[in-house]
Amino acid sequence: MIMPLTTTSSLKGSSSAPRPFHTPWTRGWALILALALTGPAFAQGAANDARALVEAAMARRQPNILLIVADDLGYGDLGCYGQQRIRTPNLDRLAREGARFTQFYAGSTVCAPSRAVLMTGRHTGHQRIRGNDQRPLLPGEGLLASLLQKGRYQTALFGKWGLGQAGSSGEPNRQGFEEWRGYLDQVHAHDYYPSNLFRNGEPWALPQNENGRKGLYAQDLFMQMTTNYLRTAQFRPFFLYLAWTLPHANNELGRATGNGMEIPSDAPYSSEPWPAPEKNKAAMITRMDRDVGRVLDILRAYKMETNTLVLFTSDNGPHSEGGVKAEFHKSSGPLRGIKRDMYEGGIRVPLIARWPGRIPAGRVSEELWAFWDLLPTLTDCALLPRPEGIDGLSMYRDLLGLATTNRHAHLYWEFHEGGSKQAARVGDWKGIRNEAGGKLELYNLKSDIGETNNVAAARPDVVEKVEAILKSARTDDPDWPLKPKPPSPPAAAGADR
């Protein structure tokens, strides 16, 4: 059934009833229909005017938005970002046909806070969710899907959520997603052969995986869902969020067997002289790349390619878990650090965007932006008002290859496992404090992308500026105090998530 097109009078929580959504598109087709019903006696000029209205509306019609977020994929894990061994031909093609961004940052160095930043448009200094724990998004916090839904978009999520348990205010269906299937919890998402998932808030049994059987790989199931969804989503703009779990480790399996990189086959790397977990990790990334190619093929087959903005990124840097070491495949590329670090390898991630006819093909951007900028950028793409009270800036112009007029004075992160860490990026400068009360490290990323030369002692003026940002960029939260590193830290509360 095709639902009537409606909109609310405001995107700021108006309680007024929906009213008919009139655009040049609807007015134009209404006029053409009227002319058809009344016969050729009416002037042809009126019909031409109506068609002109339709064509104008199509030129500015809302694009479909397809956002793919990988789990623990490093800056250096893709061929288009310098990877030499792991094959990613489809993502490399996506970069050639669109744009690649080399100074794009995740919301955090671990899963839950990074995804909260994505949904709310606020960085971790202003988040309620600043670490991997079970607290949910509150009503109205998940702005990204909610605003797009109010703006006439179909909204769907397949994969890992991590921002609210069953029955909580953070469930996806309560945060703007009309349809969703997948994992609610980060730890549950470690299991690539789950015996159950969730479907629109209800438990969903997967008998193929009951009693230890491994009959249905979760990524393959998410791909089936995606294929089915795209076949039926052609008649109204959609926002599809594919929160895939590849190449995250199954840490419980890793502790039990030494290999937590769970995948049906290590092809095409079976004959490589690598440790088994490293073969599996490479195969996970290549399998994900294969599925990106399938998504692109579906868009082309259903003639949705030219009006679909496809974005691909990762929630944080690469892990050394499940039997793998991030350095084996050089997953951080030229960057220092991995997941849970405030160094670049923990937070700088790939971003590839393709929108045929709008984003220049083969472009590489060095503009600074981050997860919290995606919300206002995507509302601009969707021709919707930008939300207020967020940290994000719209990078719409940079996305389209136009001269950028919106730039952040600074970027900010904080993280609270094993003590508190803070980081700020100010132009080419990067400041890091690895524990509360500790000394600030300072790096010039333009000349030292690997953060090997701490120049804090030589540049006290920059240190003073960064110190001020570390104080002012955050709001105090009793659940997230800045704390020193424990003398003998136990296993971190959010470890292996």
Residue 353's beta-bridge partner residues? 99, 311
Whether residues 235 and 122 share a domain: the answer is yes
Whether residues 144 and 249 share a domain: the answer is yes
Among candidates 28, 10, 7, 11, which has minimal Cα distance to 19? Answer: 7
Whether residues 253 and 185 share a domain: the answer is yes
Whether residue 182 is contained in a domain is answered as yes
pLDDT the model gives residue 234: 85
- Give the ranges where 15-86 is alpha helix by DSSP (H): 24-38, 44-59
Whether residues 244 and 349 share a domain: the answer is yes
Rg (CA), the chain: 23
pLDDT the model gives residue 28: 41
The one-letter amino acid at 235: F
Whether residues 424 and 328 share a domain: the answer is no
Whether residues 360 and 423 share a domain: the answer is no
Whether residue 483 is contained in a domain is answered as no
Give me the DSSP letters along 415-440: E-SSS-EEEEEETTEEEEESSTTPPP
Whether residue 14 is contained in a domain is answered as no
The ranges of the chain with pLDDT < 70 are 1-60, 488-497
pLDDT the model gives residue 45: 55
* C-beta of residue 489 within 8 angstroms of C-beta of residue 450: no
pLDDT the model gives residue 490: 57
Q: CATH number, domain at 101?
A: 3.40.720.10
pLDDT the model gives residue 30: 44
Whether residues 419 and 387 share a domain: the answer is no
Among candidates 346, 340, 324, which has minimal Cα distance to 497? Answer: 340
For 431, phi then psi, to 5°, come to -110, 140
Q: CATH number, domain at 436?
A: 3.30.1120.10
pLDDT the model gives residue 480: 96
Distances (CA, A) of 185 to 112, 135, 164, 182, 213: 9, 11, 8, 9, 21
Q: Which residue, 352, 368, 399, sits at the end of a domain? A: 399
Whether residues 330 and 461 share a domain: the answer is no
Whether residue 260 is contained in a domain is answered as yes
CA angle 71, 72, 76 (to 5 degrees): 120
pLDDT the model gives residue 63: 98
Whether residues 132 and 238 share a domain: the answer is yes
Whether residue 113 is contained in a domain is answered as yes
Residue 422 structural domain: 411-472
Give the pair of three-digit tokens for residue 376.
């206002």
pLDDT the model gives residue 58: 47
Report the C-alpha gap between 366 and 259 in whole angstroms. 37
Q: Which residue, 399, 422, 457, sits at the end of a domain? A: 399
Among candidates 104, 126, 101, 103, which has minimal Cα distance to 116? Answer: 126
pLDDT the model gives residue 232: 93
pLDDT digits (tens, 9 = 90+) for 466-476: 999 999 999 99
Tell me the three state secondary structure of residue 291. helix
pLDDT the model gives residue 39: 52
Whether residues 313 and 366 share a domain: the answer is yes
The one-letter amino acid at 58: M
Whether residues 71 and 149 share a domain: the answer is yes
Q: How many domains does the chain have?
A: 2
